[in-house]
Structures are given as C-alpha cells and as structure tokens.
Amino acid sequence: MLQVGGLTPLTSIDYPGELATVVFCQGCPWRCGYCHNPDLLAPRSQHPLPWPQVMDFLRRRQGLLDAVVFSGGEPTLQWALGEAMDEVRSLGFRIGLHTAGIHPRRLSALLPRLDWVGLDIKALPEDYRALTGAPDAGERAWRSLHLLLASGIPLEVRTTLVPPGETFREGHSNPGDDGDGHFHFQVTTLMYRLATAGVQHYALQIIRDRSGPLGTPLTRRAIPVPPADFQARTYAHLGQTLFHHFELR
C-alpha cells in the first residue's frame, strides 16, 4: 500500500490549468541539501496518512476537483504507485506526477497512466553527484527526461537555482563555486541543452530560505537572493527565446 506523508487538499498551481489535490509520497534516496520537503526523505513517516483515508477524501471531492498529483519525496520509489494511480483514475481524476526521474524503468512503466508530469532536472548530468550524493543520478534523471519527451505526455521541466558558494550537502558545495561567471555559464548551458533535447515548457525556481535536511547551512547570504543576483533578466530573455513557455519563479 502506498506510503503517504501528507496531502494538500486543493491547489491550482501543481497541475497547470486544473484544480488538484497533491498526495505527498514518502521516501527519497537522494539527499539534496536544498530539498523543499525533507520530512519526506525517510521511507516511512512518523505520522503517515493511511491510503484508505486518502481515497475516502478523494471520493468526497469527485466533481469538485480535476486531478490528483503524486509528489514527494520521490513517488516512483514505491512499487504501489501504479496501483494507487489506477484507484484514483477509477474515480474520474486526471493523474499528475512530480518526479526527479530517479527510476527511469519504473517511470517508463507508469507512462500509460499519466496525463501530466513535472520533472526536476537539477543540473547538467555531470554535476548531479555533488547535488544528490548518488554517482549515477545524472544519467538516471536525463534518461527519464528523454523517456518523457518521447512519450508525448504534457511535461514541465524545472530547475532550482542554488547560488554559487552555498554549501548544500556535507562535504560538497555548489558545482558553480568557481564564481558567479561559472554559475551563469552552467545555467545557460543547461538551458541550451534542455532546449536542444526538445523541452518546450521550462521553469527556473529560486531556492527558498531554509537549512538543508542533513543540517547543513544554506545561508551564506540572504536567500532568496535578489533576482538581479541570478541574472534574472538574462535568464528570462534566454528562456523566452529557447522555450515555448518559460517561467522564472
């Protein structure tokens, strides 16, 4: 049975154009220091939300909501995800997925069940290890990207910007630590590579003010960093040029 760590009853921003509920799946094998939901990293929650209770809630929302988004954590970590999606589909909801592309084979098996996907591409493939602690993370994430692009499923790709010099994982710093110029080069190179791969919808997200899940500090300077520090205008112009739809959040 699906391990659920929490639920957002109503959202208009997690599935484009639809009113949705977000189901937060428990567990993630990566340890990104800027993780937005560190309480979901462990395989099991101290205060789980039973799946039958989630289904009871969704039955009461039939006709009121359009979609259910499975988020995390990393939803594809759980073998019960496909069955849970089928149960939700039987109630008439569209199915959305937030994923970091950690398990491309499992993602491939889920494709026929999906109506929309939000995929986190954290960096260029070669920079993933410093971000996640996993040696093959970049290859997995980018393989998932190509699977989704080939599937034709509506897709949004997003990247969280970590300022150069921030320490976000014990023993590792931002791959852009050589300075703002190198950081800018990495971001623009990533954008070009995603556009070349065929990404049409892309968002850059500025990191929020917090400490990492492993207790590592993220605040060498105030976060969120003022947009000018992130070359925001340059990124916005480039994004609007490269992608059919671009957002700087």
Q: State the average pLDDT over residues 241-247.
A: 96
What number of other Cβ atoms are within 10 A of residue 189's Cβ?
11
pLDDT given for residue 212 in this prediction: 40
Lowest mean pLDDT segment, chosen from 33-47, 122-136, 168-182, 219-233 = 219-233
Is residue 223 predicted with pLDDT exceeding 90?
no
Q: Is the pLDDT of residue 229 over 80?
A: no
Instruction: Determine if residue 40 is left, alpha or beta; phi over 0 gives left, psi from -120 to 50 gives alpha, anything else beta.
Output: alpha
With pLDDT > 70 as the criterion, what percentage of the chain qualifies? 83
Whether 77 has a pLDDT exceeding 90, the answer reads yes
pLDDT over 90 for what percent of the chain? 62
Mean pLDDT of all residues belonging to the chain: 85
> Hey, what domains does the chain have and what are their CATH numbers?
4-248 (3.20.20.70)
Say what the pLDDT of residue 231 is.
66
* Overall pTM > 0.75: yes
Identify whether the C-beta of residue 133 lies closer than 8 Å to the C-beta of residue 122.
no
Q: Which of 67-71, 198-202, 213-217, 224-228 has the lowest mean pLDDT?
A: 213-217
